[in-house]
Amino acid sequence: MEGLIGRKIGMTQIFDDEGRRVAVTVIEAGPCPVVQVKTPETDGYRAAQLGFEEQKASRLSKAQAKRFELAGVKPCRVTKEFGLDDGEEVKAGDTVTVNIFDGVKYVDVSGVTKGRGFAGIIRRYRIGGGAHTHGGHSKHRPGSIGACQRPGSVQKGKRMPGHMGAVNRKARNLAVAQVRGDENLLLVRGSIPGPNNGVVIIRKALKK
């Protein structure tokens, strides 16, 4: 299994084997039941759909509830597909735990960043702004946003005030500090996107 669904618990610190203090993020990774298995014969590719966090059946449509009923697992709030290797065999109803990361050195963690609401260009893009002395009147203003006659409009991609945050981001090549299988916890070095208690997707790193 190439990855797992988890929840960001928060950040703390631990001490490594050499006695150095290391900042880590604690992730509750799994356990995730296998809801559905995609096969090349029926779907054209190999993958397994995992679920995370139990959900009331009344909050799902009849079609969604039926999939969980056929798999023999309780309804889940979050589902995500993960690719399978050719020699890997799983079936609906199995449970995938954080132990799949035993021996893995680096992981990629993706999540939705914190929403910051409407923000100006200085906070949103860290633009320096205008002069703050000698009578400057453009301290937090965006300044010129286009040419006069040609093209005569604001170009696409211009950095301007707007909604900040609440976007998908991925932290790549995070070192795995500890895997605590009995507690379903994964400790990775550094920070990951999203607020505490936010749902994240953990995958084995591809670029390392």
Give the CA count within 13 Å in the CB-facing half-sphere of 43. 11
CA–CA dist 118, 72 (Å, integer): 44
pLDDT band at 208 (very low <50, low <70, confident <90, very high): low
Backbone angles phi, psi at 149, to 5 degrees: -110, -35
**Widest CA span of the chain, in angstroms?**
72
Residues paired with 115 in a beta bridge: 165
Please check whether residue 24 is in contact with residue 14, taking contact to mean a CB–CB distance below 8 angstroms: yes
pLDDT exceeds cutoff 90 at 147: no
pLDDT tens-digit profile of 82-130? 988 777 788 888 999 999 999 999 999 999 999 999 999 999 999 888 8
DSSP 155: P
CA–CA dist 3, 84 (Å, integer): 10
Please check whether residue 90 is in contact with residue 37, taking contact to mean a CB–CB distance below 8 angstroms: yes
Amino acid in the structure at residue 208 = K
Residues paired with 200 in a beta bridge: 6, 111
**Predicted local confidence at residue 185, as pLDDT:** 96
Please check whether residue 206 is in contact with residue 13, taking contact to mean a CB–CB distance below 8 angstroms: no
**Predicted local confidence at residue 191, as pLDDT:** 95
The listed range with the strongest mean pLDDT (5-14, 133-142, 153-162) is 5-14
Task: Give every CB contact of residue 106 below 8 A, 6+ residues apart in sequence.
Answer: 173, 174, 175, 176, 204, 205, 208
DSSP 2: -
Task: Give every CB contact of residue 43 below 8 A, 6+ residues apart in sequence.
Answer: none
